[in-house]
Amino acid sequence: MRCGLALAICVALFNPPSFAQSPPTPLIAKEAIRSGSGFTSPALRAQQKDDDLNPGMLWVDQGREIFSRDCSGCHTKPEGLAARLPKLASDGSVVTLEHQINRCQSERVKQPAYATESQPLLGLAAFLAFASRGMSHAVAPDVTQSAAWQRAQSEFTRVQGKLDFNCRSCHDYLYGKRVRNQAISQGHGVGYPAYRVEWQTLGSLNRRLRACFFGMETKVPEASDPILADLELYLAWRAQGLPIEAPAVRR
Amino acid sequence: MKALAVLPWWLPAVDAFAQPTPQKPLDERLRAAKVERGGLSLDIPTLAETGTSVPVVLFVDPAKLAGRTVARLGIIAPQNPRPVALELELGSVLAQPRLTTAIRLGATQAVIGVAQLSDGTLWQHAIEVLLTGSACFDGT
Amino acid sequence: MSEPIPGRNARLLVPPLVRTGEEFQVRLLIQHPMETGFRRDVDGNILEVNLLESLSLDFEGQPVFNALTMNALTANPFLTFVVAVKQSGKFNARWRDMKGNVGSISASVRVVAA
């Protein structure tokens, strides 16, 4: 009997519950999850809620025009296209909304790819995200098994920069607390592309992530760095269940 | 009022409630203008989280107009590099003398709303706005 | 804006149908950087000043407002007003910036008896 118990303990120690059976789950509980709108000022929330005052809608209007000119030949409906992204490509890399737009642009429209943060690219991305408003980003059930997710997870939890922060320090543990007069958000990307008053323009999630690195006083990756796409995939996984609300108005 | 023609219409309202000092005597021409706290309200957050977009509502209480109309609305931000933030002439199609917009502020300051009535009277309402810095700097 | 953009760069919103004399909101949103001349780009170069220098809104020739100065309007500014009209017609907004770029947008409202 005693032997049997010891054996059972040994087995339990050397065969811990496998990750394959219980995949990691986001740290923020489903009941507590809130998009960035839950942390902005009432004035910005009001501006986002009202499409007539949301400057991001100007980009949506332009994206709609480009979509009907260049994209509607293949895509009969814009709804839901953005909700399928970001996704894993067969080579294990992550395809973001902006990547997919540029892939179509060079392979289907046969035009040079749009430049990073250029007006037509932001316009199309904003229009497509707007057309998926209310839907959630699709997250593959086995996404946590992917190398991209694991790379992003280690980047998200890696302490870096002059302030000795990782992403978690603020967005998993300190959300709702204030830095100066600003509330720390949970770091979800469902409002992007978003109109940020600090940028005084619309910008992508890619740019927002680079701004995070800047704020952490660490090396800011180039826009094309694959780690940023990996992080977009990771953020979509963290934000499971939150509806897309682009173009959001953010500080 | 005649001499005021060479000065900006809103100028008397900016110093209206300041005590003149020997170093800074109040211009006689400004003293001549009729400035009241009156029926103008400037609605602006007293704590602004970013200077790049501060929501403002300027509105006039119609009950205090007594038959006059609002000819002009202005917003003066004395500490901005360009202190005249906004000046509008109002037209006859307006049903209410009311404006909603958002402005930039370069520093913590008293922001001054000004209305000029059809008889030349100036109404002003100043609000001290504290500008808090950004929590995270953004170099992108 | 260096790249040519198809489509609109402003929104002018009015309700499509109102009653005679009924008060309603007119909302104007314009895509414009309202560059102050004090900002720098990522390479540290000053961004040349380019503010709106004229902006007006009228209803069938009758003025709603005429902006004399817009120094501190935000980038991509919005302005909303409360108006009332007696007959159906069109609102027209026109603007020009310091670089000479002009823009305009219009929106129609239909008035029915109160």
Please indicate if any CB of chain C lies within 8 Å of the CB of A57. yes
Q: Give the number of beta-carbon pairs within 8 Å between A and B.
A: 53
Please indicate if any CB of chain C lies within 8 Å of the CB of A66. yes
Instruction: Tell me if C5 and A195 make a contact (CB, 8 A cut-off).
Output: no
Instruction: Tell me if A197 and B50 make a contact (CB, 8 A cut-off).
Output: yes
Instruction: Tell me if C69 and B86 make a contact (CB, 8 A cut-off).
Output: yes
pLDDT at A147: 96
Q: Which residues of B11-27 are buried (b: 16+ CB within 10 A; e: fewer)?
A: bbbbbbeeeeeeeeeeb
Which residues in chain C have Cβ-Cβ distances shorter than 8 Å to A62?
5-9
Q: Which residues span the domain enclosing C36?
A: 12-112
**Distances, alpha carbon A70 to alpha carbons A65, A73, A79, A206, in Å:** 9, 7, 16, 24
C6 in a structural domain: no
Instruction: Tell me if A62 and C74 make a contact (CB, 8 A cut-off).
Output: no
Question: For A119, which of C5, C8, C74 is closest by C-beta distance?
Answer: C5
Each residue's pLDDT tens digit, B53-83: 999 999 999 999 999 999 999 999 999 999 9
pLDDT at A56: 96
Alpha-carbon B76 to chain mean position = 5
* Distance, CA of A203 to CA of A250 (rounded, Å): 10
- Report mean pLDDT in 10-residue bins for chain A, 251 residues: 50 49 84 91 87 93 95 95 96 97 96 95 98 95 95 96 92 90 91 94 96 92 96 96 95 89
Assess whether pLDDT exceeds 90 at residue B4: no
Query: How far is the alpha carbon of B100 from chain A, nearest alpha carbon, in Å?
Result: 11
Instruction: Tell me if B101 and C81 make a contact (CB, 8 A cut-off).
Output: no
Please indicate if any CB of chain C lies within 8 Å of the CB of B18. no
Specify the fold of A36-250.
Answer: Cytochrome Bc1 Complex; Chain D, domain 2 (1.10.760)
B89: CB partners within 8 A, 6+ apart: B71, B72, C63, C65, C66, C67, C68
Per the listing, tokens 């950087």 go with C33
Q: What is the mean pLDDT of residues C26-53?
A: 91
Structure tokens, B43 = 């609605």
Which residues in chain B have Cβ-Cβ distances shorter than 8 Å to A214?
136-140
Strand order in the sheet with A194-196: A201-203, A194-196, A249-250
Q: Percent of chain A at pLDDT above 70? A: 92
Residues 97-136 of A with CB under 8 A from B: none
Please indicate if any CB of chain A lies within 8 Å of the CB of C31. yes
Q: Report the candidate in C1, C71, B138 with the shortest Cα–Cα distance to residue A59.
A: C1
Please indicate if any CB of chain A lies within 8 Å of the CB of C20. no
pLDDT at B3: 46
pLDDT at A3: 52
A162: CB partners within 8 A, 6+ apart: A217, A218
Please indicate if any CB of chain C lies within 8 Å of the CB of B92. yes
Within 10 angstroms of residue A52's Cβ, the number of other Cβ atoms is 15
The CATH number linked to C20 is 2.60.40.10
- Domain range summary for chain B, segments of one domain joined by +: 33-131
Question: For A52, which of C13, C33, C34 is closest by C-beta distance?
Answer: C13
* Distance, CA of C85 to CA of C28 (rounded, Å): 17
Question: For A207, which of B49, B50, B140 is closest by C-beta distance?
Answer: B140
Structure tokens, B71 = 């000819």
Helix axes A119-131, A97-107, angle to 10 degrees: 120
* Distance, CA of C51 to CA of C46 (rounded, Å): 15
| pLDDT band for position C4 (cuts 50, 70, 90) | very low
Instruction: Tell me if C29 and A55 make a contact (CB, 8 A cut-off).
Output: yes
C4 in a structural domain: no
pLDDT at A1: 44
| pLDDT band for position B2 (cuts 50, 70, 90) | very low
* Distance, CA of A242 to CA of A189 (rounded, Å): 10
Residue A54 amino acid letter = N
Which residues in chain C have Cβ-Cβ distances shorter than 8 Å to B85?
69, 71-73
Strand order in the sheet with C24-30: B40-43, B54-60, B94-103, C78-83, C24-30, C10-13
- Up-side HSE of residue C70: CA atoms within 13 Å toward CB? 30
What does chain C come to in residues? 114
| pLDDT band for position B137 (cuts 50, 70, 90) | low
Instruction: Tell me if C68 and B88 make a contact (CB, 8 A cut-off).
Output: yes
Structure tokens, A142 = 């086995």
Where is pLDDT greater, at C9 or A149? A149
A155: CB partners within 8 A, 6+ apart: A167, A227, A230, A231, A234
| pLDDT band for position B92 (cuts 50, 70, 90) | very high
Residue B81 amino acid letter = P
| pLDDT band for position B7 (cuts 50, 70, 90) | confident
* Distance, CA of C11 to CA of C101 (rounded, Å): 17
Each residue's pLDDT tens digit, B101-120: 999 999 999 999 999 999 98
Q: How far apart are the first and last CA of chain C?
A: 45
Touching partners of A (3+ C-beta pairs < 8 Å): B, C
**Distances, alpha carbon A251 to alpha carbons A247, B52, B61, B62, B129, in Å:** 13, 9, 32, 35, 18
DSSP alpha helix (H) spans, chain A: 2-14, 42-49, 56-66, 97-107, 119-131, 147-157, 167-171, 205-215, 226-238
Mutate to test the interface with A, among C14, C76, C91, C105 (most CBs of A within 10 A): C76
Main-chain dihedrals φ then ψ at residue A199, nearest 5 degrees? -80, -25
Each residue's pLDDT tens digit, A67-123: 999 999 999 999 999 999 999 999 999 999 999 999 999 999 999 999 999 999 999
Structure tokens, C34 = 């309202």
Instruction: Please tell me whether residue A59 adopts helix, strand or coil conformation.
Output: helix
Which residue is closest to A40 within chain B, CA to CA?
B49
- Domain range summary for chain A, segments of one domain joined by +: 36-250
Mutate to test the interface with A, among C29, C30, C47 (most CBs of A within 10 A): C29
Question: For C23, which of B84, B95, B99 is closest by C-beta distance?
Answer: B95
* Distance, CA of C50 to CA of C35 (rounded, Å): 5
| Lowest mean pLDDT segment, chosen from A11-15, C16-20, C36-40 | A11-15
C73 in a structural domain: yes
| Lowest mean pLDDT segment, chosen from B25-34, B56-65, C69-78, C88-97 | B25-34
Q: What is the mean pLDDT of residues B36-63?
A: 91
Assess whether pLDDT exceeds 80 at residue B1: no
- Please give the tally of structural domains in chain C: 1
Instruction: Tell me if B139 and A211 make a contact (CB, 8 A cut-off).
Output: yes
Query: How far is the alpha carbon of A43 from chain B, nearest alpha carbon, in Å?
Result: 7
Assess whether pLDDT exceeds 90 at residue C69: yes
Mutate to test the interface with A, among B46, B129, B136 (most CBs of A within 10 A): B136
Rg (CA), chain C: 17
Name the superfamily (CATH) of residues B33-131.
SoxY domain (2.60.40.2470)
Q: Report the candidate in C32, C36, C78 with the shortest Cα–Cα distance to residue C57.
A: C78
Question: For C27, which of A53, A65, A197 is closest by C-beta distance?
Answer: A53
C7 in a structural domain: no
DSSP state of A221: P
β-bridge mates for residue A250, sequence order: A196
